[in-house]
Amino acid sequence: MIEMEKIVSLAKRRGFIFPGSEIYGGLGGIWDYGPLGVALKQNIKKEWWKMFVESREDIYGIDTAILMNAKVWEASGHVKNFVDPMIDCRKCKMRFRADKLDPARGCPNCGANDFTKSRPFNMMFKTYVGPVEDAATLTYLRPETAQGMFVNFKNVLDSMHPKLPFGIAQIGKAFRNEVTPGNFIFRIREFEQMEIEYFIKPDQWQESFEYWLSEIRRWLDYLGIKKGVHEREVPREERAHYSMRTVDIEFDFPFGREELYGIAYRTDFDLKNHSKFSGVDLSYTDEESKTKFIPHVIEPTFGVDRTFLALLVSSYRQEKDRIVLSLPAKFSPIKVAVFPLLANKPALVEKARSVYSMLRNSYSKMSAAVFWDDRGNIGKRYYSQDEIGTPWCITIDFQTLDDDTVTIRDRDTTGQQRIKIEKIIDWISEKLNR
Ligand code: GAP
């Protein structure tokens, strides 16, 4: 198993992830994504959206606001139930999750054995809307994207006229004031979720649950995350307040087996409560049977940042003389790097520049980010690309000047083949769309 420090250091050194507000000493549980990080993260979201929204007839994508009427969070149960038990060490004043600490072993920070009583701590970030700060203007940064889907259920129904079963999906930020953030981007206070609320007739829940579990497996397969995945039936006492059944999809991270994704049967809990609190009827009329009822919900949920981390962990390989990120090409931040064999031969540089421009200009055809490098020697350039997961490197050498062929080097095998410049775009498009 690889060590976490290696991943964190690679991520920082190569521009994937930086500590948030770093020049001011950082901010606990907050991270920023750099140039390569944002590319990888966008690829995750883009591929997820393609698989679960664009390629399906039964899922409607939306994008709702982070700030919502505070009543949403009362109706959803988050004001009352979205709490973690918290205890403080009286000696060093450090704060811990009571359920993650063994008091018999003393304070993990100073060793003292003098804790306060455990008390509930609500994880929602508070804020105020408008210039007056009082109870009437108080609201929260959303702790899950799910509620945006529930409160727009009727809008989607009235505007798109879907028939059950159908789903609403969105990708967006969520915020949780975690008591103990940590393990790099695993548990953070500002993160992104990709969620689907799939509305069904109540008697379809078991079948739909199994179906969505298999869809999560399909997505993991697509990510190339094949090893270290486990499914755990979550016992009743650990389930969220709204769930009748939850399965956690866990992954063997370097710091242990932890939750990557989840799937929950939320029953009609959310729509029923929003109907009650808002006074708006959120039921659905089945045209065939002429019955009116509140649909039930199966919710597969995916963390973007945890996907990112699992992808780094599962693709990181330390070989004898190189580090390789064997990311599936679709997810790699850069798809193709272009090098002139020697940077001090103008004819080579000029030719390489023309290949580089040709590839850049055909972005809309290939959808492939292209990178230029003429620093150091060719071996170093290859290794530099291997480490960030670039699947193909193209080198322009002296033979190119004679016959318009280049070498394409494969990241995983390090094997090279020669192809005609005019064939490169089709070659890459074909590989990317396989
Ligand atoms: N709408 C259901 C829901 O929010 P959850 O299990 O609390 O369920 C869903 O969160 C997913 O969001 C998790 O499986 C995880 O991938 C991600 N997630 C939750 N809390 C997180 C945190 N503090 N940092 C990073 N990702 C988090």
Cα torsion angle, 215, 217, 222, 223, sign = positive
> Distance (Å, rounded) from C-alpha 121 to C-alpha 96?
11
Would you tell me how many other CB atoms lie within 10 Å of the CB of residue 220? 20
Residue 89 is classified by DSSP as B
Output the ligand 1 site: residues, CB below 6 A. Answer: 144, 146, 176, 178, 187-188, 191, 193, 195, 259, 261-262, 299, 301, 303, 305-306
Read off the tokens for 296: 């039930």
- From atom 19 of ligand 1, which residue's Cα is the shortest distance away? 303
Site to probe by mutation for ligand 1, drawn from 173, 183, 193, 250 as the one with most ligand atoms within 8 Å of Cβ, is: 193
Helix axes 4-13, 304-315, angle to 10 degrees: 110
pLDDT at 105: 87
Predicted structure pTM score: 0.95
> Do 178 and 188 touch, CB atoms closer than 8 A?
yes
pLDDT at 1: 65
pLDDT tens-digit profile, the chain (434 residues): 678 999 999 999 999 999 999 999 999 999 999 999 999 999 999 999 999 999 999 999 999 999 999 999 999 999 999 988 889 999 999 988 888 888 788 899 999 999 999 888 899 999 999 999 999 999 999 999 999 999 999 999 999 999 999 999 999 999 999 999 999 999 999 999 999 999 999 999 999 999 999 999 999 999 999 999 999 999 999 999 899 999 999 999 999 999 999 999 999 999 999 999 999 999 999 998 899 999 999 999 999 999 999 999 999 999 999 999 999 999 999 999 999 999 999 999 999 999 999 999 988 888 889 999 999 999 999 999 999 999 999 999 999 999 999 999 999 999 999 999 999 999 999 999 87
306 Cα nearest atom in ligand 1: 16
146 Cα nearest atom in ligand 1: 1
pLDDT at 4: 93
